[in-house]
Chain A
Amino acid sequence: GDSVTQMEGPVTLSEEAFLTINCTYTATGYPSLFWYVQYPGEGLQLLLKATKADDKGSNKGFEATYRKETTSFHLEKGSVQVSDSAVYFCALSNINDMRFGAGTRLTVKP
């Protein structure tokens, strides 16, 4: 079945550092890909998405590109802030089924 694998955390960075969280997927057909973020004590919320190959999703300085050839959707941000500290989930959607990666906890220190 469809699945998502993302790099294990936790990840700890200093403010203004560069962030990469790797995500790869296995799926039949042409899924849509997502990154969700979960702040402490809250539900998940959409960060960005891409619906077809070579699409780039971006939001709040984060971006990820849908790479069909490498089945990847890595999340990047050029300069992280303390307020970016959260758990990040990579996900894919395929016909009413949304599958999530294991989540990566990011802590940004001042």
Chain B
Amino acid sequence: DTAVSQTPKYLVTQMGNDKSIKCEQNLGHDTMYWYKQDSKKFLKIMFSYNNKELIINETVPNRFSPKSPDKAHLNLHINSLELGDSAVYFCASSRGEGELFFGEGSRLTVL
């Protein structure tokens, strides 16, 4: 069983479209995250949720909206996609102040 799974793994879409990436963890962790990794491998935190509540919301365009239906899921919805949104998006989970467990990443390409 994959501990942190995210789908889809690859996503190719046109500018202006809306897309979602789903994430699920089966580790029983309370905290989940979304990170964006650019082409230079720089990893930037976007959001963090603890028990379904938003606790970190970095300076991210409001076209990005996270949704946590329960503490095992944290989905990322992106409206009006732009070329600069092309990146690999990683979901992760943790117990709080400890090790993060990452998904395999979702590579988004906006044409």
Q: How large is the interface on A (under 10, 10 to 19, 20 to 34, 35 or more residues)?
A: 20 to 34
Chain A residues near B99 (CB, 8 Å)? Answer: 34, 46, 49
Give the distance in Å from the alpha carbon of A80 to the alpha carbon of B2 in the complex: 29
Contact flags A97-110 to B (C-beta < 8 A → 1, else 0): 11110110100000
Please determine whether A32 and B97 come into contact, CB atoms closer than 8 angstroms.
yes
A89 within 8 A of B: yes
Chain B residues near A46 (CB, 8 Å)? Answer: 99-100
Q: In this complex, which of A45, A97, A103 has the most chain B Cβ atoms within 10 angstroms of its Cβ?
A: A97
Binds A, one of B14-22, B39-47, B75-83: B39-47
Please determine whether B43 and A96 come into contact, CB atoms closer than 8 angstroms.
no
Please determine whether B55 and A96 come into contact, CB atoms closer than 8 angstroms.
yes
Please determine whether B43 and A43 come into contact, CB atoms closer than 8 angstroms.
no
**Closest partner residue, chain A, to B103 (CB atom):** A43
B96 within 8 A of A: yes
Please determine whether A94 and B97 come into contact, CB atoms closer than 8 angstroms.
yes
Please determine whether B43 and A89 come into contact, CB atoms closer than 8 angstroms.
yes
Chain B residues near A32 (CB, 8 Å)? Answer: 97-98
Chain A residues near B94 (CB, 8 Å)? Answer: 93, 96, 98
A residues adjacent to B (C-beta < 8 A): 32, 34, 36, 38, 42-46, 49, 87, 89, 91, 93-100, 102-103, 105
B residues adjacent to A (C-beta < 8 A): 4, 31, 33, 35, 40-43, 45, 48, 50, 55-56, 90, 92, 94, 96-100, 102-105
